[in-house]
Amino acid sequence: MTKLLGKVIIEGKIRALTGLHVGGSSTGMEIGGVDSVVVRDSITRRPYIPGSSLKGSLRSLMERSEGKPFNNRVANSRIHMCKELKDFEECSVCRVFGVTADSIQLPEEAESGENENAIPTLTRLMVRDALMTEETAKTLEKAETDLLFTDVKTEVVIDRITSQATPRRIERVPAGSQFKFGMIFNVFVKEDAKFLKYVFQAMTLLEDDSLGGQGSRGYGKIEFDIEKVAWRPKNYYAKGEAEVPLISGEKTAASIRGEFVEILNKIN
């Protein structure tokens, strides 16, 4: 039976350097209103970044960076998932972001739990929804934005055959907005810990790409301000043992990646 050795807690802020559009449901929008809306909290009406969107972006960039084949269909897209246990054991994508139980063939000792290193279906990386900070919300409430907390950008789509122009209105969170993010990296066996570096590699890749929609049009440039990376061994939960800080002060994803050897040595 595989046992949890501990968790790495990663917390900080996501700063939107350009307008950010993470799409939500357009149900209920009136004709002549916004064509593409952002996802909002149903109670506070504040825009937020779903954990699924953030994790999906990180995974996609790692897949391309590592040259992984898109061999598994999920909903309307294709992603990479290892089919064999031997491939999973050294795969930075599947080890960090996970595989589904029906995507990989497991030997008998893995299914029975006899081989601790052969449990690929356990979730390593968990990504929370990133909620708008109170400071950003208060600032935007006072600002003269087009909608509550957001701006609306009008774009024109040109039909290449008829040359007909069709305007569309896209809602986006203004540049400068900040969101609090949280990630948890589970370490089940010592071998898992070395794959933590790929989380920061993926974050660095995302900073030079885009989050959400319309990235090729300049939307979605973001920056991670990492405020906390800490190791919580299993005795933190069982006996109240203190967590171990893995960084001091605020860091960038790139700087943490560069300090990873020192960080790894602090994880027992």
Share of the chain above pLDDT 70, in %: 88
pTM of the full predicted structure?
0.88
Over residues 115-145, the pLDDT tens digits come to: 555 466 788 999 999 999 999 999 999 998 9
pLDDT at 25 over 90: no
pLDDT for 117 equals 53
Q: Which of 204, 218, 188, 202 minimizes the C-alpha distance to 252?
A: 204
Tell which wins on pLDDT, 38 or 155.
Answer: 38
Average pLDDT (139-167) is: 83
Residue 88 has a pLDDT of 84
Average of per-residue pLDDT across 182-195: 93
Convert the pLDDT of each residue in 168-178 to its tens digit.
Answer: 889 999 999 99
Residue 100: pLDDT over 80: no
Task: Identify the bridge partners of residue 84 per DSSP, sorted by sequence position.
Answer: 105
Would you place residue 29 in the very low, low, confident or very high pLDDT band (cuts 50, 70, 90)? very low
pLDDT digits (tens, 9 = 90+) for 235-246: 999 999 999 999
- Residue 221, pLDDT above cutoff 70: yes
Q: Reply yes or no on whether the pLDDT at 28 is more than 60.
A: no
Query: pLDDT: is 214 or 101 the higher one?
Result: 214
Q: Which pLDDT value is given to residue 232? A: 97
Looking at every residue in the chain, the average pLDDT score rounds to 86
Mean pLDDT of 16-27: 81
Considering only residues 89 and 39, tell me which one the structure prediction assigns the higher pLDDT: 39
